Structure 1
Amino acid sequence: MFAFQVLWFSLLPSALSAPIFGLGSSSEATGAPTAVSLATANATLLRPAQFSRAAYCSSASLTTWSCGLPCETLSGVTFLQSGGDQGLIPLYFIAHDAVDQSLVVAHEGTDPDNILSILNDAELLLEDIDTTRFPQAAGKGIKVHSGFQETFERTADGLLAGVKAGLASTGVNKVVVTGHSLGAALATMTGAMIKGAVDPSVNVVVTTFGLPRGGNQAWANFLDSNVGVTFVTNQNDPVPTVPPLLLGFAHSSGEVHIVDSSQTNLVACPGHDNEHCATGNSLFHVSIANHLGPYFDDITFGGAVCS
């Protein structure tokens, strides 16, 4: 998270003349957002948020499903696998969710107390997507955030093997992939990889929180047509507006924006980088606290929520 703050200040001189961070791209959408009811949010977003919150807890506590509040609020869960070291290799875990009849893959977000984790966010270059893991992306001009891709690749093979084994052992036909912050960026890549590697009958759902931009417009289009991502942005959180549009990055569609601190005023934002939602946040009203939460139902992210 601190790496994003460094980026703000490095871009500040050029950004002061602009009303929003994303100014200068023709890809910004202008369509009016539509209201999302709290009932819909609770039905579709709450459980992925709870799993994303649990991903900040230690692997040992997840193995026994004894991570405190994040685990206590999720009944019907059987832990299957974890990976990463909560540093250079962020933690992920795979679980069977008997309530939703799904397999869940949850990625840990950036830990501001661990410098190795922060360094994963610091690279801002766009590089060609690895078509060995995303063969369906070949020839589409797709470029992704180099740091996110390198981090993703450190656990991709073991994670995919675990998902395939979990689908076989549980018999479910749905995979939910989720994460917050850096974990959200990794979740979009994981979801795309899984979608291309499992039987087409398997429903792959990607729901993330505090998602930074992860690639170019071709990557955003690819996510729209091949996966479909729902990503929740919270008020004046700056993280969803980096890396900036002026460096060639773009969001996919699927943004749900929390408008104010009531936690009940949510809107669906049409198109890519809708100027009425996170992309339109003012330079002078940034809130790092909004990145952590609360989102809705008092969901706050970070290791402090673990026992």
Structure 2
Amino acid sequence: MLSFSFLPFVCALLPLAQAAPLPLFGINFGESAATDGATSSVSQSTINSTLQRPGFFARAAYCETQSLQALTCGAPCDAISKIKILQAGGDGGEIPRFFVAQDPDSQTIVVAHQGTDPTNLLSDLNDVEVAQVAMNSTRFPSAAKGSLVHDGFQDTQGRTADLVLSTVKAALASSGYTRVLATGHSLGAAVATLDATMLRMQLPASVEVDSVVFGLPRVGNQPFADMIDALLPSFSHVTNQHDPVPDVPPRFLSFQHPAGELHITAVDAAGATATMVECPGQENSNCSEGNSLLDASVGNHLGPYFDGISFGSTECSA
């Protein structure tokens, strides 16, 4: 069932869909075919080793800054209790919550961003600005020719970008670490994708920049997606069953996902174990691209995904 806050956005897109040559949420309006490469299973051990920790970080980004800094936000903080918070902020609205941390277990500097809070109008408005704009040439100095991104996502990322970049640079220098991870859920996934792009362009080649995100909406156009594939070859975006968010903004508005989708087809009743497949190509009709609006589930967007990980401020304690 679609949430009330999501319905106005969908309804606003439907008139465009009727006049456009492309599909929306798996309903074909004349778009060129998506890829249909065969999927392959992702093992639970792979989920635990490569996706679990980014999921823990993305979940914790929803928690109030004060409790996060003190690591007293309940289960989200308990799961990452060994990290050192270097910077945290945001208001949960125009500036979604975020943090930069040092993770000694993985020898990584972590950047994590909060997703959309449907109860916060300012947060929703970040998602509604669907116009495509050129990438900021200062933050993205080597952006591929023709790369355009979602105006609202870039504006949101820009509100914390300079602080994120300076904090990451200082942390790499002081810790001696050579790896950075950018993660987030929903709107936070879009911001983290732009952060990872910025960090890859701004940091030395000797620093590994990875990004694992959850419930990612489409961020940019085809040249942008192609650039992500080349720039961040290990980029992964996890989609959960019939979550509608990965299908917005729709492809008929010239938005395109990069490669790297990992699609959850089922989660057990306890929310602990997920059945997941790897989806070759940028938009695979066997994965979230094949979803229908009629089956959309905002519950799938929030979770659980795996290992008991769900997203939202309700996961945090004061």
Q: Normalization by structure 1: what TM-score?
A: 0.95
**Distance in structure 2 (CA, Å) of the matches to 1:99 and 1:116:** 36
**Distance in structure 1 (CA, Å) of the matches to 2:124 and 2:315:** 20
Q: Return the offset for 1:85.
A: 1.8
Which residues of structure 2 form unaligned runs of 5+? none
**Distance in structure 2 (CA, Å) of the matches to 1:26 and 1:230:** 24
Give yes or no for the alignment of 1:195 onto 2:188.
no
Q: Which amino acid aligns with 2:172?
A: L
Tell me what 1:264 maps to: 274
**Distance in structure 2 (CA, Å) of the matches to 1:156 and 1:19:** 31
Check conservation: 1:22, 1:241, Cα contact below 8 A: no
**Distance in structure 1 (CA, Å) of the matches to 2:6 and 2:230:** 29
Q: Which amino acid aligns with 1:117?
A: S
Tell me what 2:169 maps to: 164
Give yes or no for the alignment of 1:54 onto 2:60.
yes
Check conservation: 1:21, 1:244, Cα contact below 8 A: no
Check conservation: 1:53, 1:70, Cα contact below 8 A: yes
Tell me what 2:231 maps to: 226
Q: Which amino acid aligns with 1:114?
A: N
**Distance in structure 2 (CA, Å) of the matches to 1:18 and 1:256:** 20
**Distance in structure 1 (CA, Å) of the matches to 2:25 and 2:143:** 35
Q: Return the offset for 1:86.
A: 1.5
Check conservation: 2:17, 2:252, Cα contact below 8 A: no
Check conservation: 1:4, 1:242, Cα contact below 8 A: no
**Distance in structure 2 (CA, Å) of the matches to 1:27 and 1:3:** 30
Q: Which amino acid aligns with 1:305?
A: E
**Distance in structure 2 (CA, Å) of the matches to 1:2 and 1:205:** 34
Q: Return the offset for 1:65.
A: 1.3
Tell me what 2:7 maps to: 5
**Alignment partner for residue 71 of structure 1, among 77, 83, 95?**
77
**SS of the residue aligned with 1:265?**
strand
**Distance in structure 2 (CA, Å) of the matches to 1:259 and 1:25:** 25
Root mean square deviation, CA, Å = 1.8
The one-character-per-residue Cα deviations of 1:134-160 (angstroms, maximum 9, x if unpaired) are 11115x100000000111111111110
Q: Which amino acid aligns with 1:93?
A: F
Tell me what 1:237 maps to: 243
**Distance in structure 1 (CA, Å) of the matches to 2:204 and 2:24:** 46
**SS of the residue aligned with 2:211?**
strand
Q: Return the offset for 1:13.
A: 5.7
Which residues of structure 1 form unaligned runs of 5+? none
Change (3 A) 1:3 1:249: farther
**Distance in structure 2 (CA, Å) of the matches to 1:12 and 1:78:** 46
> 1:1-307 maps to which residues of 2 (within 5 A)?
4-12=6-14, 20-21=26-27, 24-26=30-32, 28-137=34-143, 140-228=145-233, 229-262=235-268, 263-307=273-317
**Distance in structure 1 (CA, Å) of the matches to 2:29 and 2:315:** 36
Q: Return the offset for 1:18.
A: 7.1
Q: Return the offset for 1:15.
A: 5.5
Change (3 A) 1:13 1:67: same
**Distance in structure 1 (CA, Å) of the matches to 2:25 and 2:85:** 46
**Distance in structure 2 (CA, Å) of the matches to 1:113 and 1:22:** 31
Q: Return the offset for 1:196.
A: 0.9
Question: In percent, how many aligned pairs have the same letter?
Answer: 49
Change (3 A) 1:65 1:200: same
Q: Which amino acid aligns with 2:295?
A: H
Change (3 A) 1:142 1:43: same
Check conservation: 2:25, 2:250, Cα contact below 8 A: no
Q: Return the offset for 1:27.
A: 6.5
Q: Which amino acid aligns with 1:11?
A: L
